[in-house]
A and B are shown apart, each in its own frame.
Chain A
Amino acid sequence: MASRFTVSNRTGWLMAGPAVLLIAGFVILPFLLAVGLSFTNQRLVSPNPTEFVGLANYNQLLDLALLTVEPLKDDAGQTVLKDGVPEYPPIRSLTRNNPDRPDLNGMREWFSFSSGGDARLVVLARDVVFMKAIVNTFTFVIVVAPVQAGLALCLALLINQRLKGINIFRAIYFMPVVVSIVVVSLLWRLIYDGQSGLLNNLLGTLSFGMIPPIDWLGNPSTALGSIIAMSIWQAVGFHMVIWLSGLQTISPTLYEAAAIEGASKWQVFRYITWPGLRNTAVLILIVITMQAFGLFAQIDVMTNGGPLDSTHTIVFQAIERGYGKQDISGGSTISVILFVIVLSISLIQRWLTREKS
């Protein structure tokens, strides 16, 4: 006999209702809107009617071009040298009103490299800042995912012991997770302060003044690294707890069997612990990757994308455009691009870590 609880559809929907409504209102609808708006020129407030613009927004963000630039020649056909290196014409002169390449109009140099001879290959992007944001975001993900996961695993292994007072350590490592990321970012702005920050003081004291103060967040070469370090520290406790739960699913008798066979600590990890953590590892990798792609609050609080655009990220760009510049369609387009990137990466991860039979 079917139970009243398994057939009572109306009750089921009633109970799921609030969650379904909220998810529909705050996730599904905005997502569909974003996809729709990314094909228009919608602005936050504008007197003009919205128009359908096709892929123009995507083109504006993602358009890239390659340009070969020859060095300047003097009248005799000799390469002009300046301080011993060949001099090149300004890129602007080649992109603006160039009758041969009308498609380059409005593009700027992203980076360039030498192509063997004197000629240089210049990669042009229509939106250089967005390109930098993509590179920064990927850098962040590629560093944070393995380092944070690895560190969290080490902590979990250390903490998964029956020692007196081990719970104190568990609590300490988990503490940063419960503090809001905005608060953490504010605190770390003080730690990273260029003049009298805690970090500079610490380094100065430890090195007896050999290391001069560094403006961690004000220097393009250290800003992103500093944010990476802080972000790893902040969430490592969360992933430690997930690893810990994975560790505790491994049957203690497996360890006893290994002890009787004479396995060393490393062999125990290699043959029992690590294979037993497989599913946990997949989960943690995917979660960290997703979170890392969403990097925003730290940037917003600590650097605002600077210095010299060195800490712009995809989400920061989406919000800055959508609200800062009131360019809703541009922000929506960035969101859709991020969605496609994250979706492809998690599909690839799923495929790479699939159960091989």
Chain B
Amino acid sequence: MASITLRDVRKSYGNAHVIKGVDIDIQDGEFCVFVGPSGCGKSTLLRMIAGLEDITSGSLAIGDTVVNDLPPAQRGVAMVFQSYAIFPHMTVRENVAFGLTIAGASKAEKDAKVAEAARILQMEHLLDRRPSQLSGGQRQRVAIGRAIVRKPEVFLFDEPLSNLDAALRMDMRMEIGKLHQQLGATMIYVTHDQVEAMTLADKIVVLRDGKVMQIGAPMDLYHDPANLFVAGFLGAPSMNFIDVTVKAVNGNSALVFNDALDPVEVSARRGPFRVGDRAILGLRPQYLSIAEGPGKLHGTVALTERLGAETVVEVALRNGKAVIAALSHDAVYPIGSAVDLGFDPAQAHLFQPEE
């Protein structure tokens, strides 16, 4: 069984503390995505799991074994690198068979396993080419092929798609998802792209500056972000944040308002909030609508972008701030015209301001 457990894992380079105490539980067979902005320590964390970096303190277990001091080869992991790391002087066949060659497998065994990997990745026709004759997407397939022939219990991917162009990225993303279903292995996938995280993950770990901000299923994180960072990081266009003042607190909900916002009662579960506090109201652009009658937010149209099925409207609020509304229909709103925006208070999030 290849569950993975991290307990208070830390990593420092001298005085630079890169991973600052991380606890993560990954179940056997789960697809777990580490997501966060560039430089937050995702790769470092993944390389610690692979055994390419020492763990400064804390414990890392794969299955029931603590593997802190095991070399990479004995951890039963395979890794796919952002730069592919395929061997330039070997053919695709030799590259895919590399792990088996190292283990001293027979030619027949190698041929069979390479053929199977090639079938899964649909690259039978590439086997006798050299890496220099392959496109980026094909190279990434070879790297994945090399990872799957050894049937590892854990796959580690470090931004495998970030060197590919947008269209190819979407194809490969779907293929990696399919691969996970076929193989049923535990996978950890590092990316800074929230779309990849949302679409692929069973479990998302949002990282920032070497700390875990939130762990959960994609929809839980989307609909119930624990803090401003997660709320702003997931979803596109990103969530609108509006400074508000708390007018009244009523058990689990709070009444908030500002110059451009009529008082509205929203959930206060990310509190505590007290009357008179400043707070931040988070509204996803997709849940804002142009109100027919009097709405809750008052402003004027600053910009519209018509995308066909969707219209993105930037509204300058009465207090000078701007919000974005993503409407799921095509419509024209003249710039400068007054609009009122409405929303369902159940879809609004109230956060404490960050220091």
Q: Report A's interface with B, CB cutoff 8 A.
A: 251, 253-254, 256-264, 267, 271-272, 275-276, 278
- Report the separation of the CA atoms of residues A263 and B102 in the bound assembly, to the nearest whole angstrom: 6
- Verify A261–B99 contact, CB threshold 8 A: yes
- Verify B85–A254 contact, CB threshold 8 A: yes
B235 at the interface (CB under 8 A from A): no
Residues of chain B from 21 to 65 with CB closer than 8 A to chain A in the complex: 50-52
- Verify A259–B87 contact, CB threshold 8 A: no
Q: Which residues of A contact B103 (CB under 8 A)?
A: 262
- Verify A267–B89 contact, CB threshold 8 A: no
Q: Which residues of B contact A254 (CB under 8 A)?
A: 85, 87
7 pairs of residues in contact across A and B, judged by CB atoms under 8 Å: A256-B72, A256-B81, A257-B85, A257-B146, A263-B102, A264-B102, A271-B101
Against A, the Cβ 8 Å flags (1 = close, 0 = not) of B84-120 are 0111111000000011011100000000000000000
B237 at the interface (CB under 8 A from A): no
Partner of B73, one of A260, A275, A276: A260
Q: Which residues of A contact B177 (CB under 8 A)?
A: none
Residues of chain B from 264 to 321 with CB closer than 8 A to chain A in the complex: none
- Size category of the binding interface on chain B: 20 to 34
- Verify B99–A256 contact, CB threshold 8 A: no
- Verify A259–B73 contact, CB threshold 8 A: yes
Query: What is the distance, in angstroms, from B88's C-beta to the closest C-beta of chain A?
Result: 8
Q: Which residues of A contact B81 (CB under 8 A)?
A: 253, 256-257
B83 at the interface (CB under 8 A from A): yes
List the 6 closest pairs (A to B, CB-CB), nearest first. Answer: A262-B73, A275-B89, A253-B85, A257-B85, A261-B99, A260-B72
Query: What is the distance, in angstroms, from A142's C-beta to the closest C-beta of chain B?
Result: 28
Q: Which residues of A contact B2 (CB under 8 A)?
A: none
B161 at the interface (CB under 8 A from A): no
Partner of A256, one of B85, B87, B90, B98: B85
Partner of B79, one of A257, A263, A276: A257
Residue on B nearest A250 in the bound complex, by CB: B88
Q: Which residues of B contact A253 (CB under 8 A)?
A: 81, 83, 85
Asked whether A275 and B87 contact (CB < 8 A) given A259-B72, A260-B72, A261-B150, the answer is: yes
- Verify A260–B102 contact, CB threshold 8 A: no
- Verify B79–A271 contact, CB threshold 8 A: no
Q: Which residues of A contact B90 (CB under 8 A)?
A: 271, 275
Q: Which residues of B contact A271 (CB under 8 A)?
A: 87, 90, 98, 101-102
- Verify A251–B98 contact, CB threshold 8 A: no
Query: What is the distance, in angstroms, from A271's C-beta to the closest C-beta of chain B?
Result: 7
Query: What is the distance, in angstroms, from A136's C-beta to the closest C-beta of chain B?
Result: 38
Q: Which residues of A contact B146 (CB under 8 A)?
A: 257, 261
- Report the separation of the CA atoms of residues A256 and B78 in the bound assembly, to the nearest whole angstrom: 11
- Report the separation of the CA atoms of residues A260 and B79 in the bound assembly, to the nearest whole angstrom: 7
